Amino acid sequence: MSIQKTIQELREQRKNKWDEACNFLDSKSVNGVMSEENERIYDAMEQEINALKRAIQREERREKLDAELNAPTSEPIIGKPSDMHIKSRTGRNSEEYEKAFWDNLRKKKYYDVQNVLEIGDDDHGGYLVPDEYEKTLVQGLEEANFFRSVAHVIRTDSGERKIPVVADHGEAQWIDESGSYQLEDDEFTVETLTAYKLGTAIKVSEELMNDSVFNIQAYISSEFTRRIGAGEEAAFIAGNGAKKPTGVLTTAETGYTTTTAAISFDDVQELYYSLKSPYRKRASWILNDTTVKALRKLKDSNGNYLWQPSVSADIPDMIMSRPYHTSQYVPSIEAGAKVLIFGDYNYYWIAERQGKSFKRLDELFALNGQIGFIASERIDGKLILPEAVKVLQMKA
């Protein structure tokens, strides 16, 4: 059986299980309230739905890896020799720099590589990673932190980026046949993105470092992207702007505040329509997993559930016909909390300074038989147009 067929069957199983859960909820609940026993049965159904989702994601990763492994290792040369322009790799993109960088981290030929590494000296005792390896780290961060995939990411050479933002638009006017035009200019403000430092310390045992089979590149990449990705997501969602990015929850406008301690269909609808129509076309939801669970029980005025599972590879799960993302950094449902975000996150700008830095530490963990590595990046983020994103806030 093909992987694609397996994935489709899992999607159909998940959709059928969801229909079964909906029918059970309809038959066993009164005004959304069920007995403890029926609540346990429904929770078990939801757990099975979530398990099927994880199985689908696992098969999708398997399909992707299978495609990569079966891809051709080379491509035919179809251009004429005179048409081919081979550019030599220089700077942090050179093979010499890449070799010297990893030799330095392993302490191999340590004193022979310093002149080469001066290209990537970060002025803090570390060295900037090779260009090709940095691309791998960025790809890993995109997988570890979903927010990068929905935000607008720019790369800068310096530590500051100024962004002109239209604060107020001019308007067209009705004019008499012989009347004069009124000049109305757009008003601009300037948002500034700087470069805050986000870093982590990674420890590796000396035995592993001395093992020629140990893939230090893959290990550092995995740990860096997991830790830095989590730190980025936390800041992009809820950062307060103090030595870190300003989170979307901090800047976005409150679209609606609930009148009760629970979320209703009307609350979600009010939030949906509080966002102007041009932004709704590309909008998606961000919420906590526990909030997803609460929304699964809500219906619209026609008796249709707000949450709908995907049955196709190119269509994600939906809430009110818009896709959603889950994040542990969005608060769960409690008094006064901002629990649901809806908007076009392309207006959240992430400024990523080129060059991620690594530094080896020999003495700090020596007593434990370990070698340390400091890994860091410089980054900032800010919602430059607050009206493009709205949040639902619970009643205080």
Write out pLDDT tens, residues 69-115.
676 655 555 555 555 555 566 667 777 777 777 777 777 545 554 55
Whether residue 189 is found in the same domain as residue 49:
no
Rounded to 10 degrees, what is the CA torsion of 379, 227, 63, 214?
A: 120
Whether residue 19 is found in the same domain as residue 148:
no
Average model confidence (pLDDT) across the chain: 83
Is 46 within 8 Å of 293 (Cβ atoms)? yes
DSSP type of residue 279: H
Within-domain flag for 352: yes
Within-domain flag for 208: yes
Q: Which two tokens stand for residue 146?
A: 């979903």
Query: Taking Cα atoms as reference points, which of 368, 358, 354 lies closest to residue 103?
Result: 358
Mean pLDDT, residues 179-188: 66
Most confident residue range from 67-76, 79-88, 158-167, 212-221: 212-221
Whether residue 201 is found in the same domain as residue 54:
no
Is 390 within 8 Å of 275 (Cβ atoms)? yes
Phi, then psi, of 208 in degrees rounded to 5: -65, -40
pLDDT reported for residue 315: 81
Whether residue 226 is found in the same domain as residue 344:
yes
Query: Taking Cα atoms as reference points, which of 358, 340, 314 lies closest to residue 92?
Result: 358
What DSSP string runs through 315-354?
A: B--EETTEEEEE-TTSPPS-TT-EEEEEE-GGGEEEEEES
Boundary of a domain, candidates 39, 63, 87: 63
Within-domain flag for 372: yes
Q: What is the CATH number of the domain that holds 205?
A: 3.30.2400.10
Within-domain flag for 311: yes
Mean pLDDT, residues 200-224: 83
Handedness of CA 137, 138, 139, 142 (dihedral sign): positive
Boundary of a domain, candidates 47, 63, 79: 63
Predicted confidence (pLDDT) per residue in 294-351, tens digit: 999 898 888 888 888 887 777 888 999 899 999 999 999 999 999 999 999 999 999 9
What DSSP string runs through 73-130?
A: SS----S-GGG--PPPP-GGGSHHHHHHHHHHHHTTTGGGSHHHHGGGB-SSS-EEPP
Q: Which two tokens stand for residue 149?
A: 């995939």
pLDDT reported for residue 346: 94
pLDDT reported for residue 81: 55
Within-domain flag for 75: no
Whether residue 55 is found in the same domain as residue 130:
no
Strand-by-strand arrangement of the 338-343 sheet: 253-257, 389-393, 338-343, 284-287, 322-326, 318-319, 307-308
Whether residue 202 is found in the same domain as residue 284:
yes
Mean pLDDT, residues 227-243: 94
Within-domain flag for 296: yes
Secondary structure (3-state) at 165: strand
Count of residues making up the chain: 396
Whether residue 318 is found in the same domain as residue 236:
yes
Whether residue 294 is found in the same domain as residue 364:
yes
Within-domain flag for 73: no
Whether residue 272 is found in the same domain as residue 342:
yes
Whether residue 38 is found in the same domain as residue 163:
no
State pTM to two decimals.
0.76
Q: Which residue range(s) make up the domain with 329? A: 122-170+181-396
Q: Residue 283, by phi and psi: left (phi above 0), alpha (psi -120 to 50) or beta?
A: beta
Query: Taking Cα atoms as reference points, which of 274, 226, 225 lies closest to residue 252?
Result: 274
Is 297 within 8 Å of 34 (Cβ atoms)? no
Within-domain flag for 333: yes
More confident residue, 67 or 317: 317
Q: How far apart are CA 331 and CA 336, in angstroms?
A: 10
Number of domains in the chain: 2
In the predicted structure, residue 190 carries a pLDDT above the cut 70? yes
Boundary of a domain, candidates 14, 37, 63: 63
Whether residue 139 is found in the same domain as residue 15:
no
Q: Which two tokens stand for residue 174?
A: 């009705």
